[in-house]
Structure 1
Amino acid sequence: MAAVRMGDRLLVLGADAPKVLAQLALKPGLTGRTCMVDDDEARVQRAVSLAESEGGLVEPQTVSVTSLPYEAGSFDIAVVNHLLPRLDTGRRGQCLAEAARVLRGGGRCVVIQPGRRNGIAGLLGSGSSMAASEVEALLTAAGFRAVHTLADRQGLLFVEGARST
């Protein structure tokens, strides 16, 4: 769903779902670059270990997701990996604004996170999810255009936006 290609400069924000990082890190290959940022050292180490065990090359940073250590326009695609639900409301917008800053013009941001569940599963769930409309509104407020939900299946929500050129 993230459509990462060989040679892409990929930034993954959040290490909450290490398997997602491991799968994504394989895509850019040797001609691209995969960087990963999270503010928790233990999460970073778990995610990087899994990615490397599956053959992915990752440049990890343990820093705040609201103050990224990269220059503007450094990446082609940013993937927000199961991160937004654990951030407080203000930091969600800051995180996405930083993603927009480090993306090149026309670059894409894909948010991957647990989707909202209906029925009894929704009532018993952990509450660590957001509706697609909430994610779309956050991306739009951060300056992304062409914001839309790619999919909501198998318990995962995929929402994408493009940075203005």
Structure 2
Amino acid sequence: MPAAHRAPDAGARPDGWGALAPVYRWQEPLQRRSVTTLLRVLAPLPGERVLDVGAGTGLVCRSVPDEVRAVAAVEPSAGMLAAADLAGRAAVRADAVRLPVADGSVDVVVASWLLHVLDAGDRAAAVAEAAGVLRPGGRLGVVVPAVPRTTGQRLVRGAARRLADRRGLGAFRVPVDLPGLLTDAGLQVRHHARTGRGYLADVVVCTRAPGPRRPPAVAVSPVSPVGPAAPAPVGRA
């Protein structure tokens, strides 16, 4: 794809997550173990370009080492972005299924606690989009909820799903289709771990296989960075 950038109509969906944003950071400690494990395996390096998709209130951005400078957060919820602490990283309001960066322009994509809230079609599109913006050999890191193993875990997951249904927070299902989606997108799984301290989670790291890129997407106008001093997002000219 040429240097045009793709952006969604981020305001088209109800912002259920925005209403939850003021209290969302209270549960970040339950996500921290999985995010720490993910970033340890991904090991982003100084000079690499990192895209945090579905950034929420900024746990990943705050956890990436300071020396990794080229980090950008992508988040569709205006309310989440308003409540986020992104540690000074760039922020763009955009959707996971239509990322505002050029194909093949990113070294690392992170999708932490995101794919389980998307329906099957959007989840497939988001995985394909993440693969498309990665350079050949680039890494995708994913955290998703694991299948509950105990009665207590099933009760907690059921309560979370009911809350999601009431607040319009998305599918909130264990994405059992993820292995096939990764393969279909030309991604090779290099690491899989399960974390149980905090939320029960599967942590998966993939690499993009060498080969031709997907067909170009239709170019649209770029999304403006959020905040008066936000630098340009990863991959922009």
TM-score class, shorter-chain normalisation, is 0.7 to 0.9
* 2-structure distance, mates of 1:136, 1:164: 15
Instruction: Show the counterpart of 2:127.
Output: 96
With a CA cutoff of 8 Å and minimum separation of 6, indicate the structure with the bigger relative contact order.
2
- Largest Rg, 1 or 2: 2
Instruction: Show the counterpart of 1:151.
Output: 193
More strand by share: 1
> Do the aligned partners of 2:71 and 2:89 also contact (CA within 8 Å) in 1?
yes
Q: Aligned Cα RMSD in Å?
A: 2.0
**Selected match of 2:183 from 125, 130, 140:** 140
1:81-92 superposed matches below 5 A:
81-92=112-123
**Selected match of 2:82 from 45, 53, 59:** 45
1:11-160 superposed matches below 5 A:
11-16=51-56, 18-24=58-64, 26=66, 28-29=68-69, 33-47=70-84, 50-52=85-87, 57-124=88-155, 125=157, 126-127=160-161, 128=172, 130=174, 134-145=177-188, 147-153=189-195, 154=197, 155-160=200-205
4+ residue segments displaced more than 4 Å: none
Change (3 A) 1:28 1:46: same
After superposition, what is the alpha-carbon deviation per residue over 1:97-126, rounded to whole angstroms, capped at 9, x for unaligned?
111111101001010233332111232112
1:148 Cα offset (Å): 4.6
> Do the aligned partners of 1:11 and 1:78 also contact (CA within 8 Å) in 2?
yes
Which ranges of structure 1 fall in alignment gaps of 5 or more residues?
A: none
> Do the aligned partners of 1:77 and 1:108 also contact (CA within 8 Å) in 2?
yes
* 1-structure distance, mates of 2:56, 2:144: 10
The one-letter code of the counterpart of 1:51 is L
SS for the counterpart of 1:113 is: strand
After superposition, what is the alpha-carbon deviation per residue over 1:71-115, rounded to whole angstroms, capped at 9, x for unaligned?
111110100021101111100010111111111010010102333
Which ranges of structure 2 fall in alignment gaps of 5 or more residues?
A: 1-37, 162-171, 211-237
> Do the aligned partners of 1:144 and 1:163 also contact (CA within 8 Å) in 2?
yes
Q: Percent identity?
A: 28
